Amino acid sequence: MAEFKEISPNASATEKLANWWNNRFPTAGGAYRTHMSEYYAPKNFNFWYFFGSLALLVLVIQIVTGIFLTMNYKPDAAVAFASVEYIMRDVPWGWLIRYMHSTGASAFFVVVYLHMFRALIYGSHRKPRELVWIFGCAIFLVLMAEAFMGYLLPWGQMSYWGAQVIVNLFSAIPFVGPDIALLIRGDYVVSDATLNRFFAFHVIAVPLVLLGLVVAHIFALHDVGSNNPDGIEIKGPDAERDANGHPVDGIPFHPYYSVHDVLGIAVFLLVFTAIIFFAPELGGYFLEYNNFIPADPLKTPAHIAPVWYFTPFYSMLRAITNEMMVVLSLILVLSVGFVLLKTRASTMTKGALVVLTFAFLWMFNAFGFTGVEFLQGIDAKFWGVVVMIGSVLILFFLPWLDKSPVKSIRYRPGWHKWVLAVFVVDFLVLAYLGVQPPSPIGERVSQLGTLFYFGFFLLMPWWSQLGEFKTVPRRVTFAPH
């Protein structure tokens, strides 16, 4: 049992209340000191460091608005669309809650994408923060699942047919695919059973996993310390410390950064509310116009596309055709040949690599690009699903793919910035193509974009070490303002 601390009888009422609380709940005070008042963060944080706290803010907005929406929403295929209309038209301030939730979904992905980009430019995924990055990627993956399941709930045309297309992709998995798709839907088509399952996962199961990962992400970050724009470890064994043992290049998170983040929150809320009040659909990107039409299983929309934050990965899925499989086969053969010539691996390792290569080529051949089918009923769509899933999973391996001797883009060769800039443009182009109807030109561009996307990561162990790197200073660069 913890020992109670005494306080002067002449102390103020506030001090007495704080002492009473700390004596009975010391864990709360310890958590506050560990993660706020005594957590030292680098003093050179810049604009890019707003997005971590903004992601937490949007998560709170989504949870609170989601609770209020469930009070009037009915997860029944017969009345789901009508219940959303009831919320929008008859529930006091229901339209505001619904628009906050729908806009918050897009805002969540905007903030998370920018947060991940910050990590990419400053090397926040590098040692000793590999686990922080892995938790962050897991959050991104779970967030995609949460958004996908929530997208079905309004039971509009695009919700229904988007879910139909995405769930049917699982049926392309050999042997077990149809059973997996049936398990997800709970029926042979997207129906009332699907809506109930998605509602339960969206409201209860997935948010619990998401909250657990967020807590793990923050705890892991505070255990190893935050990165900074210089990529210098302010708490490392060689870092300078003051007489109290605190890093001289750090400042307490509270009150300095907790107050500093208010600026980012204020600007974000201005933009957020402007979109809610003046453009909640944002030209059909945040809320598609087809989703204002009740779901009709007998009438397929002319063009089915996912929400904008899924479209880069959807473009990669559509890019995988039989012709693309030929290109990928050639790239695989050339890559394996390069590895065999340039590495000093053992004969057994090289032999295993050759065997795996022939196995993959046989599988590619089995999917019919030469007209020879060893396995019936399987086509390039399966590899499209593999590429789409792989485009997300490859992010988990980024800490080990990046071999640069420095962390921050500030001290890398100038052309590294151009490689990163082209990657961002490529990602945006893929996102744009994902909302457009299929076309021959769009298909070719998305195929090139897919190759560059994976080339950026798979070739990173090679290109990230090239060039002349600048000398990293011993202490962080900081200009008071």
Binding site for a ubiquinone: which residues? 222
The answer to whether 72 and 91 have CB atoms below 8 angstroms apart is: yes
The label of the residue with tokens 């793919």 reads 401
CA 55 remoteness from chain centre? 11
Rounded-to-integer distance, Cα 419 and Cα 425, Å: 10
Rounded-to-integer distance, Cα 459 and Cα 404, Å: 12
Rounded-to-integer distance, Cα 127 and Cα 399, Å: 7
Taking the alpha carbons of 343, 348, 353, 355 in that order, is the dihedral positive or negative?
positive
Binding residues: 101, 115, 202, 217, 222
The answer to whether 315 and 446 have CB atoms below 8 angstroms apart is: yes
The answer to whether 156 and 292 have CB atoms below 8 angstroms apart is: yes
Which are the contacts of 377, defined by CB distance < 8 A and separation ≥ 6? none
Binding residues for heme b: 101, 115, 202, 217
Between the alpha carbon of residue 369 and those of residues 331, 366, 376, the distances in Å are 15, 8, 13
- DSSP 8-state assignment for residue 151: H
The answer to whether 324 and 447 have CB atoms below 8 angstroms apart is: yes
H helices present in 303-375, as ranges:
311-319, 322-342, 347-366
- DSSP 8-state assignment for residue 280: S
The answer to whether 94 and 87 have CB atoms below 8 angstroms apart is: yes
The answer to whether 203 and 66 have CB atoms below 8 angstroms apart is: yes
Rounded-to-integer distance, Cα 268 and Cα 290, Å: 28
Q: Which helix (H) or strand (E) holds 97?
A: helix 94-122
List, in sequence order, every residue forming a beta bridge with 250; answer none if it has no partner: 42
The answer to whether 301 and 157 have CB atoms below 8 angstroms apart is: yes
Q: Give per-residue burial for 39-48: e unless 16+ CB within 10 Å, then b.
A: bbbbbbbeeb
Rounded-to-integer distance, Cα 391 and Cα 350, Å: 26
Rounded-to-integer distance, Cα 459 and Cα 457, Å: 6
